[in-house]
Structure 1
């Protein structure tokens, strides 16, 4: 992304809290709930099932448009009175402690989850079973610490893998099985360090690493990171794409500066696309597909949407938030099955069509027309949003840009109830799940749940010494940033756009990695 596009995406992402959960009361029922909104939020927050019920009506908060005042000022007042949905948990069982999860069961402390089961501490998961500590995993089962991987089975420490099984601490593998410390292999089995081995040699090496100890696992991780530094990198991890710039795109056409997209075309400056067309300056559009979306955050199954946040199965909306199955609305919040509304007030079709041009003209005069909501109107503080994950800022810079910031709450973290963490997970029985642990990085308290401990026992993995947030940061840092650099293939010299940047050594710019264009990369892999 260009610097301009980064700032557009930063503003969009600052309206989406994906991973920070808070305990608070439902303002309708008084019950304790888990929410994306802090207890001190200046608006009402409802339990999910109550928010989606017919026990309240967003039209009750409607008001006239005041042409003597800026639109965003009036919209801010509406924000303070319309109730919000606590968390986005849909059609899921035993998944209360998650952010943005659908059609899943038995999941704990994950975010962006669709049709998953028995997963913990993961981010961006689609159709996955039995996984822990993974980042962007699709159609997979029994995985640990896997990143940007599709169709994996029984894999640990696999990054940029496709259609692999029993592969460990490996990078950029396709159709491989039983590989350890390997990079850039295709359709290989029983390899260690890219060299063939017997089944017995492979099992012996695997047993040595997965002995349940902290030292063995993290020594292997360090070795893996060194392997990545010294191997050839594909300039972009795009599959079956035509005229696409960006990374992690599959089955896409005519997309510029786009990341993490599937089966989409004619899009630009987007992150997270699925079966979408003509989408520009958007974060998360699709699931199911979208058409003609502009400058919006989280759009599902909709068309002709601009400057909106959380829009499901709607059309022709402008400057709306949390409006679902709605059509032809402007400046509305919390609308369901409504049409021809402005600032949550109902109009006839003729009234709406006459009033809308006047509002557009007014917004041009106030220099608001065509701009996304300003940072001050985000419901969240910057450091609890996706923007902080992808484009981190410190408090000073966030405030200077107009965002809000939540200072770390002064918590008296409890001392750990174990004086020494077990070196081997086999030394911990299920009574260990009652212990209070302290993260070795941030000192935040955390626990090990029973399903998690069983997974570690079964796969010879150590008990983590860091909390799930700090582990997520490690995995995030193992991925490239959402930024494209103009460069040349290190083999043939052709121009490329890649997420691999450069570092300055004396007066020279030196690549952070050996990067090949698609043609050279495909000819180089074994």
Structure 2
């Protein structure tokens, strides 16, 4: 028997009248084709059709992600300065993780006012409840880490499980490395993207099981190679030219990547090489069945998904699903170990979570919630744990809850305000965070509700320093001397690409010295952004195979807009002939 009979009676005629066909996005006016599959999800979850295009739904959910942004914020109670993924100008307050988990935010509950906008009331509640500054899943040891899975002795790492590493994102079982993104089992390596099982490798993308290599793209089981693409089981290649061991070692000895000028030269040369010489597969998927999307592994029946690994099945427009597989989920960002979830961000071990706007865990039947743990049947709540039958953090009896929920969902449905996440209004992030994953301009981002504030205001870059002490990047020596390793730490440099200052730490410089590579002349945020730019994006378009003209659907890649893409069959043939 339905617990919300009035809502159900109002919704059923809407669902019954749905037919496939062209729709216009209410946010941007772009057209999309609503399919039978999309309509099937609405009926399965008993929700009205979205007013937003699938692309804009994905953009909105990504706008709630904390891709790689680190700031100084202030403790919500004491005003003490502390580091966080949330900039102070966002208006959201923070606490240390341990303090946050010891608090009960049901005390912040407010009574629902039928005369006021529900989302205005939810926003008011969101500003009252502080957020955990680091959001660590497993407490790190001796590390400055965020969204940590148990980092040890690491610095400025995010969503990782690393040891003695720095400036990494989504790096698991990574040790003694820097700038590793979307990687697993990486050792003593530098600046890799979507690559795993690497040892002593630098400047690597989409490669596996390689060691002692530099500048690789789409390689497997290679050793002692430099500037190589589309190779398997090779040694002593130099920009795909076969050399003897002696010739290779002689050339390598002439390349000094500890010179920033030399480093830049080879980075540009290799980028041009990948653009003009490399062949890209239509996708980088591994062991998938009836699946479309990018960076998928072991998925079944996945449609237009991105970076999903570990056995998920029957999912549609789901991104960043890592670890424990999810099933029967649609339009979710960051869904792990969850079932029957819809249009939510950061759902872990959840069932029937709808329209949640960041991090709900071990919960079921939650809607429009943020950072709720082990909860059931809650609507519009923030920061609750082990609660049931709450609306706007206020506790009700079971009978009261269902009556309030039925009335509220009827009102939101009549207003046209139920069935979508309310844009990016509740995001803690600046609109520019969307640039990590999408080609998007400011005007479009603002139409999605993207937030526009001064990222570095209110002390977000740390204690104030004299402008005269902030140096231009050009003053960093081309090669660092022993004295530089002692003198550079603590000096401030300004990175115009992100409009923020940064400084090197001595352990960081010592790692670059050990890796024999010139330190990057970028703010850590810019280093991660630059690497992400080389990756394929969760935005897809139709094209044709450059070999056989077969129609294929591929992910966008702004860094390589004119890359040579082959369908899977032609790519496999090319690899066989090339190796």
Q: TM-score, normalised by structure 1?
A: 0.90
Residues 1:502 and 1:248: Cα distance change in structure 2 (over 3 Å): closer
1:241 aligns with 2:288: yes
1:145-160 aligned within 5 A: 145-160=191-206
Partner of 1:127: 173
Residues 1:60 and 1:278: Cα distance change in structure 2 (over 3 Å): same
Partner of 2:48: none
Structure 2 contact 340–353 (Cα < 8 Å) conserved: yes
Partner of 2:297: 250
Partner of 1:216: 262
1:490 aligns with 2:546: yes
1:123-202 aligned within 5 A: 123-202=169-248
Structure 1 residue 158: Cα displacement: 1.1
1:334-483 aligned within 5 A: 334-383=383-432, 385=433, 387-391=434-438, 393=440, 395-407=442-454, 409=456, 413=467, 414-416=469-471, 420-439=475-494, 441-442=496-497, 444-483=500-539
Structure 1 contact 48–87 (Cα < 8 Å) conserved: yes
SS at 2:213 equivalent: strand
1:7 aligns with 2:7: no
Structure 2 contact 109–392 (Cα < 8 Å) conserved: yes
Structure 2 contact 439–558 (Cα < 8 Å) conserved: no
- Stretch moving more, 130-139 or 65-74: 65-74
Residues 1:328 and 1:500: Cα distance change in structure 2 (over 3 Å): closer
Structure 1 residue ranges without an equivalent (≥5): 504-509
Structure 1 contact 297–310 (Cα < 8 Å) conserved: yes
The separation in 1 between residues aligned to 2:473 and 2:295, in whole angstroms, is: 42
Residues 1:447 and 1:233: Cα distance change in structure 2 (over 3 Å): same
Structure 2 contact 389–396 (Cα < 8 Å) conserved: yes
Structure 1 residue 311: Cα displacement: 0.6
Partner of 1:33: 82
Residues 1:417 and 1:405: Cα distance change in structure 2 (over 3 Å): closer
Residues 1:469 and 1:43: Cα distance change in structure 2 (over 3 Å): closer
Residues 1:465 and 1:24: Cα distance change in structure 2 (over 3 Å): closer
Structure 2 residue ranges without an equivalent (≥5): 1-29, 33-52, 458-463
The separation in 2 between residues aligned to 1:38 and 1:501, in whole angstroms, is: 29
Residues 1:246 and 1:323: Cα distance change in structure 2 (over 3 Å): same
Residues 1:452 and 1:80: Cα distance change in structure 2 (over 3 Å): closer
Q: TM-score, normalised by structure 2?
A: 0.82
Structure 1 residue 425: Cα displacement: 3.1
Which of 321, 327, 348 does residue 300 from structure 1 map onto?
348
Partner of 1:226: 272
Residues 1:511 and 1:36: Cα distance change in structure 2 (over 3 Å): closer
SS at 1:267 equivalent: strand
Structure 1 residue 109: Cα displacement: 2.1
The separation in 1 between residues aligned to 2:487 and 2:225, in whole angstroms, is: 33
Report Cα offsets for 1:30-54 as digits up to 9, x if no partner: 543212333355454222111101x
Report Cα offsets for 1:231-274 as digits up to 9, x if no partner: 21111001111111111111111111111110211111122112
- Stretch moving more, 513-522 or 401-410: 401-410
Structure 1 residue 498: Cα displacement: 1.0
**Structure in which a larger fraction of residues adopt strand:** 1
CA RMSD of aligned residues (A): 2.7
The separation in 2 between residues aligned to 1:244 and 1:285, in whole angstroms, is: 17
Structure 1 residue 126: Cα displacement: 1.7
Structure 1 contact 209–220 (Cα < 8 Å) conserved: no
Which of 549, 558, 568 does residue 518 from structure 1 map onto?
568
Segments of 4+ in structure 1 off by > 6 A? none
The separation in 2 between residues aligned to 1:221 and 1:2, in whole angstroms, is: 39
Report Cα offsets for 1:105-147 as digits up to 9, x if no partner: 222223222x211221222212211211232212211111111
Partner of 2:15: none
1:207 aligns with 2:262: no
- Stretch moving more, 25-34 or 141-150: 25-34
The separation in 2 between residues aligned to 1:418 and 1:158, in whole angstroms, is: 25
1:89-104 aligned within 5 A: 89=136, 90-96=138-144, 98-104=145-151
1:77 aligns with 2:127: no
Kindly tell me the number of residue pairs found equivalent between the two proteins.
512
